[in-house]
Amino acid sequence: MAHDTTHVHKSNTKRIWTVFIIMSVVTLVEVFLGIIKPEFLTDTYFISLKLLNWIFIILTIVKAYYIAWAFMHLEGETKGLRRAVVWTSTFLIIYLVFILLTEGDYVYEVMHRGNIAWDF
Amino acid sequence: METTVARTGTEGRTWGGGNEPLKVSYGKMMMWFFILSDALTFSGFLASYGFARYKFADSWPIADEVFNHFPFLHGVDAPMYYVALMTFILIFSSVTMVLAVDAGHQMKKGKVTFYMLLTIIGGIIFLGSQAWEWKNFITGTYGAIETRGGNVLQVVNSDGERVALDAFVTAAPKERLQHERTNGLWFVDEPTIPRYTIEDVITGFSANPNLHIRTQELTPTGEKVVLTRQASLAKLESDGIGIIEGANLQKNEYGNPLFGDFFFFITGFHGFHVLTGVFINIIIFFNVLIGTYERRGHYEMVEKVGLYWHFVDLVWVFVFTFFYLV
C-alpha cells in the first residue's frame, strides 16, 4: 500500500467546519426561499423553468461541490481520478436529464392537445 | 505487498508494472467507481421523476402541502421544517464522518472512535425520521375523493383551507361486511373497505354550504383550481367513485399515483443506502475499537466507508431539492 504513515498529515478541522457552516447557510436559504416563495422569482421564467427553481438547483450543485471536494476529498486526488469521476457523471447525467425532460414535455403537449382523453 | 511480488527486472519503466498513476489504493479507487455507478442509478431515478413531473406538469401535487408535519405539533402547518432538519442531521453526520477520517490520518484512535459513534447515531436518527415521514405519508391527513379517471378531488372550505373528510362526512349504516378468511372463502380476503362511500361524501358535502372541491389542476401561478359550489357538487356526482385515505403504491390522497410511487421508491432506495451505510459504519467502528487499523498502521478503511457515507449525503441533497423544494 502506498500509504506512508511517517508522512505528517496536517489537520483539516478548520476547513471542515467552514464547509459545514457554508452548507448550513445554503440549506437555510433554500428552506427560507421555499417557504416564502417570492413572487418575482416564481413569476419569472428562464429557459422554461422558474427562476426560483434555478436558484434551488444551483444552490444544490454548490452543496454537491462542497461535499465532493471537501468531504470526499476530491480536491486532494489526482486530476485523472477526479476527472474520471466528475466528467463521466456530469456528462451522462446532463444527457439523460435533457432527453427525459424533453420527452416528458412532449408527452405533456400530446396529452394537452386533446387527441387523447386521459381524464374521463 | 511488494515483498511477495516476483521481480521482473523492468521496475521503474513505464510498462514495468507497479505504477499508480491515480495515486490511490485499489480499494479506494473501486469505491470511487462504485459511487460513480450508484450516482448514475440515482440520477436515473430522479430523471424519470422529472419525466413524470413534466408529463403531468399542470396537475402535480404541491410538495409543501404534503410534507407539513412536525413532531409534537399536531395540526400546525409546518412546511418542510422537518425535512430541513433531516437534511441538517445528515450533513452533520457527514461532518463527524470527515472528522473521523481526519483523526484517522493522525492515528488518533480515541477521536476516530468518538466521531464514528456520532456518525452512526446521526444515521440512526435520520432513518427514524424517514420512517416517521413514511408513516405520515401512508396514513394521510385529510383524505380525498377518487374519480373515475384515476384523479383525486380534495375538499376545501370557503377560505381555501383543506378540510378532512371526517369533519363533514358521517357514514351511513353499512350493509356489506369485509370479506375475511374467517367469514367467506377461506383462501381469499379483500382489503379494508373504505370508511365512507361516495354517497356518504355527497350527503355530507351537500349539507355543508361552505365546502368546495379542489381539483388537481394547477393555475399558472402554481395553485390548485377551486371549483364553485355548483360545479363542486356536479363534479362530485359525475366523477366521484369513492374515497382515498393515505397512500400506497396504487393510489394516494395527494394527487397523481406516480407521486406516491416515486416518493416510496426514491426515498426508500436512499433510505436503504443509509441503512447499509449505518451497518458498514458499525462494522468499521468495532474494528477501530479492537485496534485493527492501529495494528495495520493506517485508517484507510475509515476513509473508504467515509466516501460511501458522504455519497449518501450527496444523494440526499438532490432528493431534498427535487422532491421537496422544486
Whether A37 and A66 share a structural domain: yes
Q: Is the dihedral of CA A20, A22, A25, A27 positive or negative?
A: negative
Whether B82 and B104 share a structural domain: yes
B127: domain CATH number is 1.20.120.80
Q: What domain range is B91 assigned to?
A: 39-140+259-325
Q: How confident is the model at residue A2 (pLDDT cuts 50, 70, 90)?
A: very low
Q: Among B212, B245, B278, which residue terminates a domain?
A: B245
Which among B23, B88, B306 has the least Cβ separation from residue A78?
A: B23
Q: Which residues of A touch B95 (CB under 8 A)?
A: 16-17, 20, 71
Give burial (CB, 10 Å; 0-12/13-18/19+) of A10: exposed
Whether A60 and A93 share a structural domain: no
A23 CB within 8 Å of a chain B CB: yes
| 63-102 in chain A: CB under 8 A from chain B | 63-64, 67-68, 70-73, 77-78, 80-81, 84-85, 88-89, 92-93, 96-97, 100-101
Whether B162 and B292 share a structural domain: no
Whether B132 and B263 share a structural domain: yes
More confidently predicted of A48 and A120: A48
Which among A43, A53, A104 has the least Cβ separation from residue B54?
A: A104
Q: Which residues of A touch B86 (CB under 8 A)?
A: none
Q: What domain range is A41 assigned to?
A: 1-76
Whether A67 and A89 share a structural domain: no
Q: Is the pLDDT of residue A1 over 60?
A: no
Whether A43 and A97 share a structural domain: no
Whether A68 and A83 share a structural domain: no
A62 CB within 8 Å of a chain B CB: no
Under an 8 A CB cutoff, do B55 and A104 touch? yes
pLDDT at B113: 96
Whether B91 and B173 share a structural domain: no
Q: Among B193, B220, B245, which residue terminates a domain?
A: B245
Whether A14 and A67 share a structural domain: yes
Whether A69 and A94 share a structural domain: no
Whether A41 and A99 share a structural domain: no
Whether A83 and A70 share a structural domain: no
Whether A8 and A44 share a structural domain: yes
Whether B162 and B125 share a structural domain: no
How many separate domains does chain B show? 2
pLDDT at B70: 86
Q: Identify the DSSP state of B7.
A: P
More confidently predicted of B179 and A117: B179
* B22 sits in which H/E element: none
pLDDT tens, per residue, chain B with 326 residues:
455 656 667 777 777 777 788 889 999 999 999 999 999 999 999 999 999 999 998 889 988 888 888 888 776 777 888 999 999 999 999 999 999 999 999 999 999 999 999 999 999 999 999 999 999 999 998 999 999 888 899 999 988 888 999 889 888 887 778 888 888 888 888 888 888 889 899 999 999 999 999 998 888 777 899 999 999 999 999 999 999 999 999 999 998 999 999 999 999 999 999 999 999 999 999 999 999 999 999 999 999 999 999 999 999 999 999 988 88
* Closest listed residue to residue B99, CA positions, set A101, A73, A98, A90: A73
Whether A17 and A72 share a structural domain: yes
Q: Among A40, A56, A76, which residue terminates a domain?
A: A76
Whether B225 and B95 share a structural domain: no
Asked if B96 and B115 count as a contact pair (C-beta separation under 8 A), the reply is: yes
User: Does the residue B107 lie in any domain?
Assistant: yes
Question: Which tens digit of pLDDT belongs to each residue from A10-40?
Answer: 678 899 999 999 999 999 999 889 888 888 8
Whether B134 and B265 share a structural domain: yes
How many separate domains does chain A show? 2
Under an 8 A CB cutoff, do B55 and A71 touch? no
Dihedral in degrees, nearest 10, Cα atoms A33, A34, A39, A40: 50
Whether A10 and A65 share a structural domain: yes
Under an 8 A CB cutoff, do A13 and B97 touch? no
Question: Which tens digit of pLDDT belongs to each residue from A36-94?
Answer: 888 888 777 888 788 899 999 999 999 999 999 999 999 989 999 999 999 999 999 99
Whether B266 and B132 share a structural domain: yes
Q: Which residues of A touch B105 (CB under 8 A)?
A: 9, 11
Whether B177 and B109 share a structural domain: no
- Please provide residue B143's backbone torsions phi and psi, each rounded to the nearest 5 degrees: 85, 160
